[in-house]
Amino acid sequence: MLPDLLRRKQTHFVLWRPRETDPPPAVVLGTFQNGNPPSFAEHRRAPLRRAAGFPDLWEVAAAECGLLDGQVYHYWFEVADSDPRRQGRRRILCTDPTACTVDWRLLAPRLPPYGEDDRDPAAVVGFFGGALIPVDPGGERADWADDPAMASLPANNKLVIYELPTTWSRLQEFEPGFSLGTGTFRDVRALIELDAESVAFADMPALERGRAHLIELGVNALELLPPADSFVDREWGYATSNYFAPDHDLGFPRGHASPTASSDLASLVKSCHRNGVRFFIDVVMAFATRWSYETVNFLDFHVHRGTGDPEEDDRQDFGGALFKYGFRTEGYDPISGERRSMVPARRIMLAHLSRWLLDFRADGVRMDSVVNFGSWDFIQEFKDHGRAVWRDRAGEQGLSGPAAEQRFLVVAEELAVPVDLVRQHRVDSLWNEEFKRMVRAAILGRNDDKEPSFEWTVRKLVDCRLLGFEDGAQAVNYVTSHDVEGFRNERLFNFLENNGVADKERRIKLAFVCLFTAVGIPMILAGEEFADQHDLPLKHPPKQVDPVNFGRLGEPWRRGIFDYVARLARLRTTSEALAVNDTDFIHVDFEQGKRVLAWRRGRAGGETVIVVANFSDFGTPEPFNGRSEYVVNNWPATPAGRRWREITQERDVPTEWAGREPIFPWEAKVYVLI
């Protein structure tokens, strides 16, 4: 289960596939020295040797490096620079490409022509009991004591995912505007754990001690936008620099003396599990930005632009270096430990996935922009490897079969929605951008641009099988995603504002009813649950980085939306009717300007959910007159001893009113049998 490369790293400093080996690469070891600025005290410079049987694997045993037991070491590898975009083959210090911890407080010294912004952070490792152990710079380790069993986590068909960026903001009290901050791993934990304390946002009600925003909301999966380390300072992280290490900034709250990224992330994941929340990682694998393999062996791992490399095509690197997922060679395989034919870039990415599934116990993966990988075969290889690692972990806990398979998910993001990716089982699930486009048209009372009628717009947004999906767990639906730049992609509040809608509250609630009662896995972009709005002007390009302002939850009308969404989330995570694909439209009314549709979810003879949605200005005349009614055709009979309950308003419905209640403009009602 543990990749051979990570197993070797328990006893050796290991460097795979350095391009230039004469003279041999070396490890430069030392200790962090506090100061202003901090400094590096070199302990040992040890040359690496070829591992027996593998000319492309270089290592030196920790036992040969004179390490002291109980000491934390910072280190770099000294290699000849292989980056063809730079002149010469100078010896420079670079980060261990598979470092489990990095410390950006110590940057490798580099001489001209390299600039200050070229310097690599030190890798960090502890030496305890004769073994090299992943630790934080202060010696802290991940603590998994009392982590709940995997069987206690929710299955895929009952998930509600919360997509959380790390850039947050607050309104300023004494002057107009707002200030930006970073929600670190500890701040995120304060959204989940009642007794956890936020470091940077403790003044916000949603993060104050004694509150647990995500638990109150009722979501049961957290997707943290890329948690792997990025050189970008305290932003979303779509510029991964160190794939095996959690982000230094997210583990280094301002004011703290030392970063604790690994132990903080472990605490966050464990808090998720204790509260029945699965943890998803977001991975960026089309390109890297300043990963040290650009120095160690650029041409084996990355596409050299402008040289006619067939893997370049139309792929976008967004300022980074594209991965070379088609270059096959023979050599050491970091997964099996054997000599074999393999694609180096693919195999290192599989090893990185193992690190996150084993050491940080992630329960799901979202792959960013998979069309930019340039390889559907690799996408499937990545999914299959993740599932194999998950099965091994689950098997150790006695969990197997469907119970294990349903508690792990690999999701691909591609806005063109190539459904064949799931139909060919290359991934488990796919972002359904079609849902976002259609639901936004629907809450404006318009047909989707691709549909011939309003009715089919609603039918397709409610049942993803009409778009080619085969199961609800294959589609991740959302009303907004983090891609908020560009036309019709903005936050829902701004989308409605830009379309001249004054009563935003009703339309936002209507959109969430569609989201939570549609076939598919609902996902909420952080802040949409209380109608957050843009704090930064949209710019395209570059990509919009819009902060989440949890302070807005204090506004009464936004709090009302939050409570409304929370009721729907609790229904979605518990309802058997919404966990299956079965969907039946029982009522369609387009007479006299009305756009009213009703759909039933659930299997015949089982639990039932009925939605009555009004996408128009029509309202029942004199709705509060006890004799006023709107009749929904084909309403099912109420079984003896049962009654209907309307979820959005949390009220019981008299039997004689079932299917005959007044309706209001731009409103939806959700009924369940109790």
**579-673 fold:** Immunoglobulin-like (2.60.40)
Residue with token string 């997210």:
250
pLDDT of residue 74: 98
With vertex at residue 556, the alpha carbon angle to CA 555 and CA 559, rounded to the nearest 5 degrees, is 85
pLDDT of residue 394: 97
pLDDT of residue 179: 72
Using alpha carbons only, how large is the chain's radius of gyration in Å? 27
pLDDT of residue 536: 72
- Kindly give the interhelix angle for 504-517 and 433-442, rounded to the nearest 10 degrees: 140
Q: Please tell me whether the peptide bond between 109 and the residue prior to it is cis, using omega within 30 degrees of 0.
A: no
> Same topology for domains 213-248+262-578 and 579-673, yes or no?
no
For 292-325, give one letter per residue: b (16+ CB within 10 A) or e. Answer: bbbbbbbebbbbbeeeebebbeebebbebbbbbb
Q: What is the rounded average pLDDT of the residues 403-414?
A: 97
CA distance 21 to 66: 24
Model confidence at 542, pLDDT cuts 50, 70, 90, reads: very low
Count of CB atoms within 10 A of residue 648's CB? 20
With vertex at residue 204, the alpha carbon angle to CA 199 and CA 207, rounded to the nearest 5 degrees, is 60
> What number does CATH give the domain 4-133?
2.60.40.10
85, HSE (Cβ side, Cα atoms, 13 Å): 15
Q: What is the DSSP string of 168-219?
A: EEEE-SSSSSEEEEE--HHHHHHTT-TT---SS-TTSGGGSTT--HHHHHT-
279, HSE (Cβ side, Cα atoms, 13 Å): 27
Containing 331, the helix (H) or strand (E) segment is strand 329-332
Q: What is the rounded average pLDDT of the residues 520-535?
A: 95
pLDDT of residue 639: 92
DSSP annotation of 614 reads E
Q: What is the pLDDT of residues 170-192, one digit of tens each?
A: 755 445 566 778 899 999 999 99
Q: What is the rounded average pLDDT of the residues 382-403?
A: 97
pTM, entire model: 0.96
Distances (CA, A) of 468 to 194, 225, 239, 475, 603: 42, 28, 33, 10, 21
Q: What is the rounded average pLDDT of the residues 237-258?
A: 91
Residue 50: alpha-carbon gap to chain centroid: 38
Q: Which CATH number fits domain 213-248+262-578: 3.40.30.10, 3.30.930.10, 3.60.15.10, 3.20.20.80?
A: 3.20.20.80
pLDDT of residue 352: 98
Range 195-199, long-range pairs (CB < 8 A, 24+ positions): 196/271, 199/253, 199/254, 199/255, 199/256
pLDDT of residue 171: 59
Q: What is the pLDDT of residues 20-36, one digit of tens each?
A: 999 999 999 999 999 99
Residue 431, judged by CB atoms within 10 A of its CB (0-12, 13-18, 19+), counts as buried
Q: What is the DSSP string of 6-39?
A: HHHTTTEEEEE--S--SSPPEEEEEEEE-SSS-E
Q: What is the pLDDT of residues 427-467, one digit of tens each?
A: 999 999 999 999 999 999 999 989 999 999 999 999 999 99
Q: What is the pLDDT of residues 631-642, one digit of tens each?
A: 999 999 999 999
Q: What is the pLDDT of residues 572-603, one digit of tens each?
A: 999 999 999 999 999 999 999 999 999 999 99
Q: Please tell me whether the peptide bond between 112 and the residue prior to it is cis, using omega within 30 degrees of 0.
A: no
Residue 545 confidence (pLDDT) above 80: no
Q: What is the pLDDT of residues 325-347, one digit of tens each?
A: 999 999 999 999 999 999 999 99
User: 233 or 360, which is more confident?
Assistant: 360
Residue 544 confidence (pLDDT) above 60: no
Residue 650, judged by CB atoms within 10 A of its CB (0-12, 13-18, 19+), counts as exposed
Mean of the per-residue pLDDT values of the chain: 94
pLDDT of residue 581: 98
Q: Give the start-to-end residue ranges of the domains of the chain.
A: 4-133, 213-248+262-578, 579-673
Residue type, 2: L
Token pair, residue 634, equals 């084909």
